[in-house]
């Protein structure tokens, strides 16, 4: 199973397009693509859906007809996909894990912070791909372009096209 996790693309308000290296990763083809929201333009979703089964949620900057959350059952376990603006303070990992437990999820995928992380908390794997475009995130000027891939039972965090962290399950 191959999974691509990305989000907070903010096209076109904060970025003109997806970076070339992100497009290269997307176009490899995936079993599942998870987008954490703040898509802004439907063409981004149409593009992504050409390269895998796409699940996307509505972010606080989206006006697209997207769900607030998605439950995605896979051979490696259940994923809860949310944008992340539902927890306060921003990025609160205890609350994210609690939402995952309530949904019976093994994995919680969220965005909103534009800061990527992968960690396990009380048996729930928390995954935040950051921002695929490096878009500024409200609390800071902008960040690194980042996303997460899953292959061969390992989640890998990529920043600016470089592998920076591996998280085996």
Cβ-contact 135, 18 below 8 angstroms: no
Instruction: Tell me which residue has tokens 């995936």.
Output: 30
What is the per-residue pLDDT across 108-130, written as a single tens digit (0 to 9) for each? 999 999 999 999 998 999 999 99
CA angle, residues 83, 84, 87, in degrees to nearest 5: 150
The predicted structure's pLDDT at residue 15: 79
The answer, yes or no, to whether residue 165 has pLDDT greater than 90, is yes
Q: Strands 107-109 and 124-128, how do they pair?
A: parallel
Residue-number span of the structural domain to which 107 is assigned: 3-168
Number of domains in the chain: 1
- Backbone dihedral angles phi then psi of residue 162, each to the nearest 5 degrees: -115, 140
What is the per-residue pLDDT across 31-44, written as a single tens digit (0 to 9) for each? 999 999 999 999 99
* Mean residue pLDDT across the chain: 93
Indicate which CATH number applies to the domain containing 134.
Answer: 3.60.21.10
Q: Kindly state the helix (H) or strand (E) to which residue 133 belongs, with its residue range.
A: none
Cβ-contact 32, 42 below 8 angstroms: no
- Backbone dihedral angles phi then psi of residue 147, each to the nearest 5 degrees: -160, 170
Q: Kindly state the helix (H) or strand (E) to which residue 44 belongs, with its residue range.
A: helix 42-49
- Backbone dihedral angles phi then psi of residue 155, each to the nearest 5 degrees: -85, 135
Instruction: Tell me which residue has tokens 């409200």.
Output: 138
β-sheet bridge partners, residue 123? none
The predicted structure's pLDDT at residue 138: 63
What pTM did the predictor assign?
Answer: 0.95
Cβ-contact 80, 57 below 8 angstroms: no
């Amino acid at each position: 199973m191959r999974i691509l996790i990305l989000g907070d693309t903010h096209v076109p308000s904060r970025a003109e397009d997806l970076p070339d290296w992100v497009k290269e990763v997307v176009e490899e083809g995936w079993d599942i693509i998870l987008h954490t929201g703040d898509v802004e333009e439907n063409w981004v979703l149409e593009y992504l859906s050409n390269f895998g089964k796409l699940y996307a949620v509505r972010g606080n900057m989206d006006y697209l007809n997207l769900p607030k959350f998605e439950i995605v059952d896979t051979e490696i376990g259940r994923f809860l996909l949310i944008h992340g603006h539902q927890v306060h303070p921003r990025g609160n990992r205890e609350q994210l894990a609690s939402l995952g437990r309530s949904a019976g999820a093994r994995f919680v995928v969220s965005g909103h912070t534009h800061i990527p992380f992968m960690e396990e908390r009380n048996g729930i794997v928390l995954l935040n791909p950051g921002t695929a475009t490096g878009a500024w995130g409200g609390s800071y000027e902008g960040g690194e372009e980042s996303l997460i891939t899953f292959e061969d039972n390992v989640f890998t965090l990529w920043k600016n096209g470089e592998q920076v962290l591996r998280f085996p399950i």
